[in-house]
Copies of this chain bind each other. A is one copy, B any other.
Amino acid sequence: MLKNLNLDDFGIYEGISETIVTTNRGWTSNAAPMGIIRKKDKLFIRLFKDSTTYDNVLSEKVLVANITWDPLVFVNSTFTDLEDSDFQTINFNCRSLVTLKKAQCWVAFECTNTKLTSEALVAELIPIRGHVNKCLIRAPNRAFFGVIEACIHATRYQLTGEDKYLKLIKAYGDIVDKCGGDNEKEAMRLLYGFL
């Protein structure tokens, strides 16, 4: 780990941080919600096959974890491609990395010790660069978490078609209705639209 890059300063604590991972191959950028696993000072990511993030990480061996609390970005990057204008290109050691323009902060990682299984890859992540755009205080809001859980169950629903996931999505939609602001409610409307 970089001695002068403290993951705490970028909001990546022990456990699984829900981030938007941006990757690119040449000029084609991709964003997808992904968990960054931290165990003490070791970091890992697990990526399932048949995803653009999987292909890009296998090819480029680098990724950027963006920290954001925008529920619309979580829904859009789960179901569709973000706009080109959502990305920002930075140069690092003669190669281009992409980040999310509106992220609170981001950390770029080199992916090493990659282990492949029949379904997924697990890579260790070595931080190579980080940047804080802004620090915003936020009170916990159950609706934001409701959107995240609904995205997870929506992905499972799309994979399996099982009705139980629709019920869970509806239950989290109720939390969003009760506790959310305009952004969380709009995110749920978008999610229902994608299903």
Contact = CB atoms under 8 A, between A and B. Distances in A.
Nearest to A138: B11
A11 B136 contact: yes
Given A36-B139, A104-B137, A16 B148 contact: no
Interface stretch (A49-57, A86-94, A116-124, A176-184): A176-184
A76 interface: no
Nearest to A66: B139
Interface in A132-165: 132, 135-145, 148-149
Given A178-B16, A181-B14, A140 B144 contact: yes
A11 B136 CA distance: 7
A67 interface: yes
Contacts of A132: 137
Interface residues of A, number: 39
A122 to B, nearest CB: 15
Contacts of A139: 10-13, 17-19, 36, 65, 67
29 contacts: A11-B136, A11-B138, A12-B139, A13-B139, A13-B141, A15-B141, A15-B143, A15-B179, A15-B180, A15-B181, A16-B179, A17-B140, A17-B141, A18-B139, A18-B140, A18-B141, A19-B139, A35-B179, A36-B139, A38-B181, A65-B139, A67-B137, A67-B139, A69-B140, A135-B135, A135-B137, A140-B148, A142-B148, A145-B145
Question: Chain A contact residues: over half helix, strand or loop, or mixed?
Answer: mixed
A9 interface: yes
A137 B105 contact: yes
Interface string A1-37: 0000000011111111111000000000000000110
